[in-house]
Amino acid sequence: MAERHGAFGDETLRGFVAHLSSAEPIPGGGSAAAVGAAIAAALVAMVASLSRDRPLYAQYLVSIERCEAEGRRLSERCLSLADEDSAAYGRFAAAMKMPRETDDEKARRTAALGEAATVAAQVPLAVVLACREIASAAEELAGRSNRNAASDLGVAAHFSVAAAHSAAENVRVNLPSVPDRELADDLEFRTTEALADVERIARAVRAVVAAGSLREPVAE
In a domain, 32, yes or no: yes
In a domain, 14, yes or no: no
In a domain, 182, yes or no: yes
The rounded mean pLDDT for the chain is 94
Q: How many domains does the chain have?
A: 1
In a domain, 220, yes or no: no
5, pLDDT greater than 70? no
In a domain, 10, yes or no: no
The CATH number linked to 49 is 1.20.120.680
147: Cβ contacts below 8 Å, ≥ 6 apart:
212, 214
In a domain, 67, yes or no: yes
User: How far is residue 103's CA from residue 82's CA, in Å, rounded to a whole number?
Assistant: 35
Q: What does the pLDDT average to over 62-87? A: 97
**Per-residue DSSP letters for 116-168?**
HHHHHHHHHHHHHHHHHHHHHHHHHHTTSS-GGGHHHHHHHHHHHHHHHHHHH
Q: 120-169: per-residue pLDDT in tens?
A: 999 999 999 999 999 999 999 999 999 999 999 999 999 999 999 999 99
Q: What does the pLDDT average to over 43-48? A: 98
In a domain, 46, yes or no: yes
Domain residue limits at 125: 28-211
Over 159-191, what HEC string results? HHHHHHHHHHHHHHHHHHHCCCHHHHHHHHHHH
59, pLDDT greater than 50? yes
In a domain, 20, yes or no: no
Contact 26, 89 (CB under 8 A): yes
